[in-house]
A and B are shown apart, each in its own frame.
Chain A
Amino acid sequence: MRRPHVMPGNLWPGRMALSSRKLSALDLYSSELMNFDEGGTFNPIEPIVIGGAGMELGSASEVLGGVTTNPKYGSTDPRIELVDQWPVHAARTITKTISWANCDGFGAQPVYFNESGAVYQTGLAASSGLNIGMIVDGHRLHDGATLVTATFSYRYNGSKPTAIPGGNESVGIARYDRTTDASTALHSAGTAGGIVYSSVFARRDVSTVEDFFAGGNVINLVFTPNQNNVIAKASYYYGFSLQTSIETEALGVKLEFSVPDQRHE
């Protein structure tokens, strides 16, 4: 509520005796002003409405109670517009599951899909395993996010081999240069967390055929990138692969990202 004048401006005389009443009112009104040079805490009974030329907040500000926009849409209606930044938030984890439905068999190894969308082979080709790969749709990757883990889920659905196959198993994640198509590994070479990393590929560090076969149950190979894992779609595209050498059912890949902001995805 706007305060009235102690005395309308056109009624102030050139000379007058100061009344304690007017001075008291001036003192009261001025005590209710918002101190914009030194700051302060204010609890208005009614909202302070600022129209006209509006306000500009020139330094970092905090909204403790939240902000609500007026529900309308149009070129001149209330809105929050972003000039060159994204709304940011504390790093949060998002998880996306990628189906191998966007893959196909490498070379002469056709693949098929079962009713759950898993990839497998049938007939004679099944014994040669899988060699599948796919590019991740750019629409599904959050630019600027950090890929924390990629969990490849698959199982060996045939007979247990007598020894760890020579070809073993290999999952791959790589980023590819959009201009040259050159690949870059997301983990340095070496063994970490029970995973052997080499170039863009990884496999479980197992020494017995029993551990390798895992009873035909679902295997979750967790690829944990330690380099080049901040998504940069302006420069790169990203792909996944899975290669095995015995009968295999590929189930999917779960991607876990640490996301710092709120972009399109």
Chain B
Amino acid sequence: MASFNREFPDTDWYTFRIPGIATALRNIDRKTVLAANGKDGSYHEPSSPITVGGAGMVAAGLWSLAGPVTTDTNAHIVLGAGHSLDYLRILAGHTGASRSMSVPVLPTIPERYAFAYASASNNFAQIARFPGARSIIAITPHNRSTLTALRLRFKTTFAHAGLPEFPKFRVIRVSKSGVVQALHTSRSGAYRDDGFLDLPVSVANVAAYEAAGARQWSNTYVPDQFNVIDTSNYAYFVDFVEEDGAYAFTPNVTLVPGAGTDILRGEMTCASITLLAPQ
């Protein structure tokens, strides 16, 4: 790309018989130099803005905005109405193409009379009263994104005599007709039946599992199926099952919160976001 070149320098123009013609031709030549080259393209740095009113301009090809564009008062950027997915788009690599979000773990939907209370560690958390108790935690992933990871923050609260059957969790979607589908295939890698994944990372022995009651991150659930979020047809949940077996915590049936796994919160990452669409 280049701006037009002059055919001759100013000194080569000669005076015609018509008075002023040399100046006129020189000015015409100058105008063609200053104008945009609509055929080959050209590069310009205008000293004052180019204002196009009237019938405006149509960008039939690609327009690249290397500088910011500001709309005037009451002027809009209007997205075409021809398709339900006509929104501003986000290129891959934009920070907004992936979102990591906190996941509250309350309220819990108990499978049975087992979960109902915030924990004693803080009132953001939930805790079980019975081994093997199961609860459902609603999550709100970014619609049309790909759910790439979800993990839970937890701590153990019971002094175990041996390793129990570990608490486990999975991410599920539930259709409008009630069909439940795990977001990871069963018995694949570390995943067990029905797409469940053991909660703890450290499982070598009781001390590792309990980590002296410190807060731990769970294994990361990495969906490998049904992971493109579609909130128009599905609701999404974490399906959590408490530890169980001979060495599980002692049930606590009083009004005091139980002695099970203290689930504090979760985090999930929604990636491959391509649209700036309402959520």
Q: Would you list which residues of chain A between 23 and 52 have a CB under 8 Å from chain B?
A: 23, 26-27, 30-31, 33-52
Is A63 a contact partner of B55 (Cβ separation < 8 A)? no
What residues of B have a CB within 8 angstroms of the CB of A137 in the complex?
101-104, 140
Give the residue of B48, B69, B70, B108 whose beta carbon is less than 8 angstroms from that of A38. B48
A71 in contact with B46 given A33-B31, A40-B51 (CB within 8 Å): no
Is B64 a contact partner of A69 (Cβ separation < 8 A)? no
Is A239 a contact partner of B124 (Cβ separation < 8 A)? yes
Is A59 a contact partner of B67 (Cβ separation < 8 A)? yes
Is A60 a contact partner of B44 (Cβ separation < 8 A)? no
Interface: B85 (CB within 8 A):
yes
What residues of B have a CB within 8 angstroms of the CB of A18 in the complex?
16, 21
Quick one: closest A residue to B101, CB to CB?
A: A138
Tell me the dominant secondary structure on chain A's binding face.
Answer: loop
Interface: B193 (CB within 8 A):
no
Interface: A96 (CB within 8 A):
no
What residues of A have a CB within 8 angstroms of the CB of B32 in the complex?
30, 33
What residues of A have a CB within 8 angstroms of the CB of B81 in the complex?
71
Interface: A104 (CB within 8 A):
yes
Is A83 a contact partner of B94 (Cβ separation < 8 A)? yes
What residues of A have a CB within 8 angstroms of the CB of B117 in the complex?
104-105, 107-108, 110
Complexed CA–CA distance, A133 and B90 (Å): 35
What residues of B have a CB within 8 angstroms of the CB of A207 in the complex?
none
Report, as a range, how many residues of chain A touch the other chain: 35 or more
Is B25 a contact partner of A23 (Cβ separation < 8 A)? yes
Is A54 a contact partner of B31 (Cβ separation < 8 A)? no
A103 in contact with B123 given A26-B28, A80-B89 (CB within 8 Å): yes
Is B63 a contact partner of A41 (Cβ separation < 8 A)? no
A58 in contact with B96 given A23-B25, A33-B35, A132-B123 (CB within 8 Å): no
Interface: B93 (CB within 8 A):
yes
Is A48 a contact partner of B52 (Cβ separation < 8 A)? yes
Interface: A115 (CB within 8 A):
no
Complexed CA–CA distance, A20 and B20 (Å): 13
Quick one: closest B residue to A43, CB to CB?
A: B54
Interface: B232 (CB within 8 A):
no
Quick one: closest B residue to A239, CB to CB?
A: B124
Contact with B along A58-77 (1 / 0, CB 8 A): 11111111111111110000
Is A30 a contact partner of B118 (Cβ separation < 8 A)? no
Interface: B161 (CB within 8 A):
no
Give the residue of B64, B96, B105, B142 whose beta carbon is less than 8 angstroms from that of A86. B96
Is B107 a contact partner of A102 (Cβ separation < 8 A)? yes
Quick one: closest B residue to A18, CB to CB?
A: B16
A53 in contact with B101 given A44-B52, A45-B54 (CB within 8 Å): no
Is B64 a contact partner of A62 (Cβ separation < 8 A)? no
Q: Would you list which residues of chain B between 49 and 108 have a CB under 8 Å from chain A?
A: 49-72, 75-83, 85-86, 88-91, 93-96, 99-108
A262 in contact with B116 given A51-B60, A51-B61 (CB within 8 Å): no
Is A87 a contact partner of B102 (Cβ separation < 8 A)? no
Complexed CA–CA distance, A9 and B86 (Å): 45
A34 in contact with B50 given A139-B279, A241-B123 (CB within 8 Å): yes
Complexed CA–CA distance, A44 and B99 (Å): 45
What residues of B have a CB within 8 angstroms of the CB of A56 in the complex?
63-66
Q: Would you list which residues of chain B between 18 and 56 have a CB under 8 Å from chain A?
A: 18, 21, 24-25, 27-28, 31-36, 38, 41-42, 44-56
Interface: B213 (CB within 8 A):
no
Complexed CA–CA distance, A27 and B21 (Å): 11
Quick one: closest B residue to A48, CB to CB?
A: B57
Complexed CA–CA distance, A233 and B102 (Å): 8
Give the residue of A83, A107, A238, A263 whose beta carbon is less than 8 angstroms from that of B256. A107
A264 in contact with B142 given A35-B31, A43-B53, A54-B59 (CB within 8 Å): yes
Query: Shortest Cβ distance from A124 into chain B, in angstroms?
Result: 11
Is A57 a contact partner of B47 (Cβ separation < 8 A)? no
Interface: B224 (CB within 8 A):
no
Interface: A78 (CB within 8 A):
yes
Is A135 a contact partner of B102 (Cβ separation < 8 A)? yes
Is B123 a contact partner of A105 (Cβ separation < 8 A)? yes
Is B80 a contact partner of A36 (Cβ separation < 8 A)? no
Chain B residues proximal to chain A, CB less than 8 Å: 3, 16, 18, 21, 24-25, 27-28, 31-36, 38, 41-42, 44-72, 75-83, 85-86, 88-91, 93-96, 99-108, 116-118, 120, 122-124, 126, 140-142, 153, 215, 255-257, 264-265, 267, 273, 276, 279
Closest 7 CB pairs of A and B: A71-B82, A71-B80, A138-B101, A43-B54, A133-B123, A39-B48, A33-B35
